[in-house]
Amino acid sequence: MRNQLAQLPGISINGNGAVSGIIQYRGMFSDRVNVQIDGSVITAAGPNGMDSPLSHVIGSIGQEVTLYRGIAPVSVGAETIGGAVAISHIAPVLTDSEQPTFSGGLSVSRFSYNKTQYSVSANSINHTSYLTVITDKQPAAN
């Protein structure tokens, strides 16, 4: 997820372990950049805020990222002086049929530092319920 976020204009991800990182947007970071995951505001936790909001997200197929530049709408949070990032899973659309329908997806990303990231998903949906299975492989060299 942090590699994809770093491609947005003005965003840098300060590495904080193998998978997570601290979002920095135009010089503002930590609690000055509001992070919302599926409608819930997530703040840094632990000693010295080392557990960043991105540690609660596994980048995979079926996610949408919205970057709010500057002061964001109140619906995204109250403390948004440095902007806001909203990460949400795309909700499945139930069918009219009792018979399940199946679908899936594959995402492969290749980065300039010779790392490849894979994400595979499988879905089953009918008129009352859905099941989604996602597997993800993210490389880390530290």
pLDDT score of 142 more than 60: no
pLDDT score of 11 more than 70: yes
Report how far residue 117's alpha carbon sits from residue 59's, in angstroms, rounded to the nearest whole number.
Answer: 10
- CATH T-level fold of 2-89: Ferric Hydroxamate Uptake Protein; Chain A, domain 1 (2.170.130)
Q: How do residues 86-141 score in pLDDT, each as one tens digit?
A: 988 888 888 898 899 998 888 887 777 777 888 888 889 999 998 988 888 877 66
Domains of the chain, by residue range, sit at 2-89, 101-137
Phi, psi of 75 (to 5 degrees): -65, -20
The pLDDT of 3-14, averaged and rounded, is 84
Count of Cβ atoms closer than 10 Å to residue 76 Cβ: 19
The pLDDT of 35-49, averaged and rounded, is 83
